[in-house]
Structure 1
Amino acid sequence: MDARTLLDQLFPAGHDVVFDGPYFAGSGRCGAGSVAVIGSVDAAPIGIELAHRMAGAVLDVVREHPGRPILLAVDTSGQRLSHRDELLGINGYMAHLAKCIALARNRGHRVLGLVYSKAVSGGFLASSLLADVCYALPDAEVMVMNLPAMSRVTKIALERLQALSQTSPVFAPGVANYLAMGAVEALWDGDLAQRLDAALAAPVDGDRRRAVGEARGGRLLARRVAERVRTDAVG
């Protein structure tokens, strides 16, 4: 689904979102009131300019509209892989974006992520995945690292990773696997405006992803390991 169609379906009461190249931002009207919208189109790789612009938009909402919910609808093929971006410190720009989203959450803004097309690698990790809750459309594409790249980094044979990906969502791309791991809370279909209203009305109950992933059979050890780290540290 393209971004303009998505916004029309999310906000049938209207929106003032403005598109500028790969970036868009504005606000939409729904049952809960006004929602700030920040995102990107065309699987845009997130370089220093786009990361800085999205971070600035988040800070603008925090300053000018205290408590307003924020919807992150980021369509990205990942962080931009260029020598220029590396030299200019893209890691710092991505971290700045992540910290701005964390600031908004800490200041009481409900932050929702919605993967409507593609979410890959650092572009996903530093945006929609840092929301209070992340949702996705059924035909969205989600991955953090493809198996050949994972093989190069971990030194595990590609054939072994391919075999593991058949039984463990942790090693496999695809929105169904991220749903199983709890990274994606639910898939949105049907009436998207109704889905958005329900998500905004749902109580905020901390980070449930580890528990959800365990319950769905996608991540069986994450919650228990995290609990042990916390209790051992206190002890």
Structure 2
Amino acid sequence: MLQAILLDLDNTLVLFDETGFYLRYMERITPCFADLMPAEAFRDRLLRGIRGLARNDGSRPNSDHFMERFCEGLDGAREAVWERFMTFYASEYDRIPVTVKRPAGLAELLDRLEGWGLRLVVATNPLFPELAQTKRLAWADLAPERFELLTHLENMSYVKPRADYYRQICKKLDLTPEQCLMVGNDAVNDMVAGTVGMTTYLTTEAGVIDYGAVTEGRRVSRGTSHPADFSGPLSGVAEVVARLRG
């Protein structure tokens, strides 16, 4: 029987221009490391660290894997670099311009799911520290306390679209994949949950995704799209859950 609802964050619980925000994010964070390294070197290290997360074997948190890759050749600087990231997320991150809106019926949906006694998880790609993830959640006027689990850089050992990311969530919840419904807007990163046995729901508010990330002018493949069991606006999740609960 269905026990948990996993909800993606970006362009599922909160709608915004991800590519535009990423570009402004890079503009803001790069100067914060200017005294440590040139801008191009920082961008290369950041991308190397993020891309390297796809190869984490699950033996350590993503934060450790990221920092090892980012700090290669920077002897003794790891703690100071991490503190620099935390300082950025505590202050400058809030100044990045972003226009967001909540999907229609978000509050009503969460209230209804909670009323059914379902466990709620924010299953967002754990590429950012907890501090950043909670601030992104706040864009939708949502508090992390409302959810049993919020995935982030420090508490996960895999990233999307690794199937092991979803298996790790199940392990944390002590549930089987068949007891979970994954809700998200991304046919690559979110709907892959179906390969481990989860039921999947593809949201439509954000429109069709161009599965190529724009990174410094280069096109980067994002993986294989997976079919969804259900699809529609986020508000339609309630009807599907009611059907699954019988």
Report the TM-score, using the length of structure 2 for normalisation.
0.33
- Decide which structure has greater strand share: 1
Q: Which has the higher contact order (CA 8 A, sep 6+)?
A: 2
Report the TM-score, using the length of structure 1 for normalisation.
0.34
